Chain A
Amino acid sequence: MAKYLLLKHYRGAPASVNDVPMDRWTPQEISAHVQYMNDFAARLEGTGEFVDAQALAPEGTFVRYDGEGRPPVTDGPFAETKDLIAGWMVIDVDSYERALELAGELSAAPGAGGKPIHEWLELRPFLAAPPTIAQ
């Protein structure tokens, strides 16, 4: 088994095919989209491949250490040009091919006009613990 992160971006990914902001969809289209995402997660729970899914607020701040006795330096909110992560799903699957297949399905979630969004998702393998037998 191998774990993969499916990353969804607010900004920074190539534009999706069906690229319409959500507040320009109809309420029914939004409901259909939410239902698709819920069903997708539920199905992966059923197959034993779901690990976690979280959404992030669009606002954030960069923070760094600024030396002994000084408060941390902050820079933010994020500039408009910055790559911005919207959320993620973690899956635990048997193969890279299976991870690709699932990412493709997630990207097909319906959007404006009830058509698939064709959203670009980022698929990243986890660096796992080393195996017991290394030879």
Chain B
Amino acid sequence: MTSQVDEVLLRSLTPRVLAILVRRGADFAAAEDAVQDALVEAVRVWPADPPRDAKGWLVTVAWRRFLDAARADTARRRREDHLDAEPAPGPAPAVDDTLLLYFLCAHPSLTPSSAVALTLRAVGGLTTRQIARAYLVPEATMAQRISRAKRTVAGVRLDRPGDVATVLRVLYLVFNEGYSGDVDLAAEAIRLTRQLAAVIDHPEVAGLLALMLLHHARRATRTAPDGSLVPLAEQDRGRWDTESITEGVAILQAALARDRLGEFQAQAAIAALHADAPTAEQTDWVQIVEWYDELARLTDSPVVRLNRAVAVGEADGPRAGLAALAALDDSLPRHAAVTAYLHERAGDLATAARLYTEAAHKAPNLAERDHLTRQAARLNTRRRH
């Protein structure tokens, strides 16, 4: 999109415009297509002729597009007569329209990849091409995924909220996975979570937003200029985004004060303790272990227990960390990497090097594989001298 159009404003209006069309009686799938057309039109027209009322402009154009499409579809001729009349206002919404769209796009009947794609398009206002590039699939494939998703939720009534946890899982996935085309998915996830937090008062929504902000604050320091991973302990903390950290911590504290703990708040609390440490050595590992205990209680996830073992290793020494690992299945992702690290800390470089090589063999992505191979190489080089 051109720089002359405020893309963030435009896209922030997407769910509201879409909801208005649906309230006027348009079916969700056709309304969604019409809103996309209106967004494209806005990008073309606004630079030369900016509207005074951006939302009103989008509603008018999208509604016209919807009617044109309905008219072109002869099978809908009977309905068209009805729609062409001045639209009757729908029932007054008891719940914010934007919120209902989040629930629809994260509906439990959708697969995670479909829910992600539909959320980015219908709530985020991204184009199919942008979403396809972000997930490295052909545009036609992404278009199919989105239209199938729309068919899946076609019968869902847009009238009452669902389980907010399903929406949070989708937003977490947007933040955590995907590549970068011309869209920054992490920033988009933050925008969507912020927008959600504005329409629903829920401590876990705040928890997820805080978690995202606290991790996003470290982003610039997580990779070296050559693309290699930089572990948390070696990151240049002076380059962490303090504004983002301050906001994340404030949001988290307000959420925790409500005493309805959930897994995102607990994860954010751990991220906040890392953000709070001026140096890696000053990290409050004892408190971090306590938060992992809370997390394990909330989720009973083996991945959490694995991360807890790392924290125990830092708080009580590598032997204690290895003891905490002993109870865990060694086929867990990153089990070998964690064990290697704890053996290195305990001074057993031969075992550590062997396990780093094994961990590299099992690494789920190239950056991690290269990082783990470097760790093995570093220890093997040191042992030769």
Instruction: Give which listed residue, B226, B362, B380, contacts A34 with CB less than 8 A.
Output: B226
Binary interface profile of A, 27-59, with partner B (CB < 8 Å = 1, else 0)?
A: 101110011001000000000000000010111
Nearest-CB residue, chain B, relative to A21? B357
Interface size class of A (residues with CB under 8 A): 10 to 19
- Which residues of the partner chain A approach B380 to less than 8 Å between Cβ atoms? 23-24
Bound form: Cα–Cα A29–B374 in Å: 9
How many residues belonging to B are interface residues under a CB distance threshold of 8 Å?
21
Instruction: Give the A-B pair count, Cβ closer than 8 A.
Output: 42
B133–chain A nearest beta-carbon distance, Å = 14
Q: Which residues of B contact A (CB under 8 A)?
A: 226-228, 353, 356-357, 360-364, 366, 369-370, 373-374, 376-378, 380-381
B337–chain A nearest beta-carbon distance, Å = 14
Nearest-CB residue, chain A, relative to B367? A34
Instruction: Give which listed residue, B226, B353, B366, B377, contacts A25 with CB less than 8 A.
Output: B377
- Which residues of the partner chain A approach B373 to less than 8 Å between Cβ atoms? 22-23, 30
- Which secondary structure characterizes the binding site on chain A? helix
- Which residues of the partner chain A approach B361 to less than 8 Å between Cβ atoms? 58-59
- Which residues of the partner chain B approach A58 to less than 8 Å between Cβ atoms? 361
- Assess the A22–B228 pair: CB atoms within 8 A: no
A74 within 8 Å of B by Cβ?
no
B175–chain A nearest beta-carbon distance, Å = 24
- Assess the A23–B370 pair: CB atoms within 8 A: no
- Which residues of the partner chain A approach B369 to less than 8 Å between Cβ atoms? 55
Known: A23-B360, A59-B362. A34 touches B370 (CB 8 A): yes
Q: Ordered nearest first, which 8 A-B pairs have the shortest CB separation?
A: A23-B376, A23-B357, A27-B374, A26-B381, A27-B378, A27-B377, A22-B373, A30-B374
Bound form: Cα–Cα A38–B377 in Å: 20
Chain A, 79-107, CB within 8 A of any chain B CB: none
- Assess the A27–B227 pair: CB atoms within 8 A: no
- Assess the B353–A23 pair: CB atoms within 8 A: yes
- Assess the B376–A34 pair: CB atoms within 8 A: no
Instruction: Give which listed residue, B227, B353, B363, B376, contacts A38 with CB less than 8 A.
Output: B227
Instruction: Give which listed residue, A24, A25, A34, A55, contacts B227 with CB less than 8 A.
Output: A34
- Which residues of the partner chain B approach A38 to less than 8 Å between Cβ atoms? 226-227
- Which residues of the partner chain A approach B377 to less than 8 Å between Cβ atoms? 22-27, 29-30
A131–chain B nearest beta-carbon distance, Å = 24
- Assess the B226–A31 pair: CB atoms within 8 A: yes
- Assess the B362–A27 pair: CB atoms within 8 A: no
A20–chain B nearest beta-carbon distance, Å = 11
Bound form: Cα–Cα A30–B377 in Å: 8
- Which residues of the partner chain A approach B362 to less than 8 Å between Cβ atoms? 57, 59
Instruction: Give which listed residue, B228, B357, B360, contacts A31 with CB less than 8 A.
Output: B228
Bound form: Cα–Cα A22–B364 in Å: 18
B369–chain A nearest beta-carbon distance, Å = 8
A18–chain B nearest beta-carbon distance, Å = 15
Bound form: Cα–Cα A78–B156 in Å: 46
B34–chain A nearest beta-carbon distance, Å = 35
Bound form: Cα–Cα A25–B375 in Å: 11
Bound form: Cα–Cα A57–B376 in Å: 18
- Assess the A35–B226 pair: CB atoms within 8 A: yes
Nearest-CB residue, chain B, relative to A35? B226
- Which residues of the partner chain B approach A57 to less than 8 Å between Cβ atoms? 362-364
B134–chain A nearest beta-carbon distance, Å = 17
27 contacts between A and B (CB under 8 A): A22-B373, A22-B377, A23-B356, A23-B357, A23-B376, A23-B377, A24-B377, A24-B380, A25-B377, A26-B377, A26-B381, A27-B377, A27-B378, A27-B381, A29-B377, A30-B370, A30-B373, A30-B374, A31-B226, A34-B226, A34-B228, A35-B226, A38-B226, A38-B227, A55-B366, A55-B369, A57-B364
- Which residues of the partner chain A approach B374 to less than 8 Å between Cβ atoms? 27, 30-31
A30–chain B nearest beta-carbon distance, Å = 5
- Which residues of the partner chain B approach A31 to less than 8 Å between Cβ atoms? 226, 228, 374
A22–chain B nearest beta-carbon distance, Å = 5
B166–chain A nearest beta-carbon distance, Å = 30
Bound form: Cα–Cα A25–B376 in Å: 9
